[in-house]
């Protein structure tokens, strides 16, 4: 079976302004490694890493994406910082403000996220309508200390909210797939939680027991429950103990992309 190219869309780790930044200092590398298991099953191979160095914006940095074809895949395993600069969260991710990033943010990701920052997520009305449990969590607020757990969530339609006065071991995770990120462009597969550990757990499970969700739905939302294991597990197998409750997903569409390997 012919192979198709996969390009990881990577964001830089936090850094000190007085230190040199190196291209290996990227976020969520291990999460991407686990997700690549399912990606390779679909006939993609990792080609290169697209590095998103921070840029202050708002002017866009030109990025020549002409090398990306409709048979390629962009893989994103970091929460996209679509609105981090708007809200100024302490644990924000710096945008690159490249024209490619802007194309992804305003295209396939904007179809599902009306607002997306470290502390707050608002799903679009269409995405909230996928399933009742997703609608109940159309707007969600997250803690920034002690893990990315819920602070509260609710529906702007029903105005029903659930508040967590004390930190509970619950958080959300998301999966987005677009067969074409733009007309004639590559596919986009994005999987992330609200923090680094949550993203690792979600991608670990997607790459193992939840592979059936990959490439089969344009959007899925899960609720992760942390069983409060030791703070320093010795292997990534700790992710198997987390519970992932799939709250809903968009109806599968016929696949026209690369076929599963025999």
Q: What is the pLDDT of residues 222-242, one digit of tens each?
A: 999 998 766 788 899 999 999
Structural domain contains residue 259: no
Q: Is residue 193 part of a domain?
A: yes
Q: What is the pLDDT of residue 236?
A: 93
pLDDT (tens digit per residue) in 245-262:
999 999 876 554 454 443
Q: What value does the CA radius of gyration of the chain take, rounded to a whole number of Å?
A: 18
Read off the pLDDT of each residue in 132-142 and give the average, rounded to a whole number.
98
Q: What is the pLDDT of residues 186-196, one digit of tens each?
A: 999 999 999 99
In a domain, 90, yes or no: yes
Please give the Cα distance from 262 to 2 (Å, whole number). Answer: 11
Q: What is d(CA 184, CA 180) in angstroms, rounded to the nearest whole number?
A: 7
pLDDT for the residue 73: 98
Residue 256 lies in a domain: no
- Please tell me the total count of domains within the chain: 1
Tell me the pLDDT tens digit for each residue of 10-50.
999 887 676 777 888 889 999 999 999 999 999 999 999 99
Instruction: Kindly tell me if the per-residue pLDDT of 1 is higher than 50.
Output: no
Average pLDDT, the chain: 92
Question: Which pLDDT belongs to residue 2?
Answer: 58
* pTM over 0.85, yes/no: yes
Asked if the structure places residue 228 within a domain, the reply is yes
Query: Is 80 exceeded by the pLDDT of residue 212?
Result: yes
Domain extent, residue 188, equals: 4-249
Per-residue pLDDT, 87: 87
How high is the pLDDT of residue 51?
96
Residue 26 belongs to some domain of the structure? yes
Q: Mean pLDDT, to the nearest integer, of 110-126?
A: 98
Q: Which pLDDT score is estimated for 9? A: 98
**Comparing 3-7, 130-134, 179-183, 250-254, which segment has the lowest mean pLDDT?**
250-254
**Is 254 inside any structural domain?**
no
pLDDT of residue 234: 87
Mean pLDDT of 81-105: 93
Would residue 152 count as lying in a domain? yes
């Amino acid at each position: 079976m012919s192979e198709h190219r996969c390009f990881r869309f990577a964001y830089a780790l936090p850094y000190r302004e007085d230190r040199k930044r190196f291209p290996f200092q990227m976020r969520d590398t291990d999460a991407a490694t686990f997700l690549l298991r399912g990606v390779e099953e679909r006939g993609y191979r990792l080609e290169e890493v697209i590095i998103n160095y921070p840029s202050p914006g708002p002017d866009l940095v030109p990025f020549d994406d002409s090398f990306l074809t409709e048979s390629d895949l962009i893989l994103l395993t970091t929460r996209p910082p679509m609105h981090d600069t708007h809200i100024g969260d302490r644990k924000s991710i710096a945008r690159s403000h490249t024209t490619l990033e802007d194309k992804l943010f305003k295209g396939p990701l904007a179809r599902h996220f009306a607002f997306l920052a470290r502390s707050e997520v608002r799903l679009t009305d269409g995405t909230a309508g996928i399933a009742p449990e997703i609608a109940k969590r159309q707007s969600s607020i997250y803690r920034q200390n002690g893990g990315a757990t819920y602070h509260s969530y609710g529906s702007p339609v029903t105005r029903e909210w659930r508040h967590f006065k004390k930190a509970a071991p619950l958080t959300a995770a998301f999966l987005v797939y677009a067969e074409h990120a733009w007309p004639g462009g590559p596919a986009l597969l994005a999987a992330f939680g609200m923090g680094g550990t949550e993203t690792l757990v979600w991608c670990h499970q997607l790459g193992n027991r939840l592979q059936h969700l990959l490439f089969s739905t344009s959007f899925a939302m899960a609720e992760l429950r942390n069983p409060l294991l030791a703070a320093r597990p010795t292997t990534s197998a700790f992710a198997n103990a987390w519970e992932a409750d799939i709250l809903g997903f968009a109806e599968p569409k016929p696949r026209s992309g690369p076929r599963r390997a025999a």
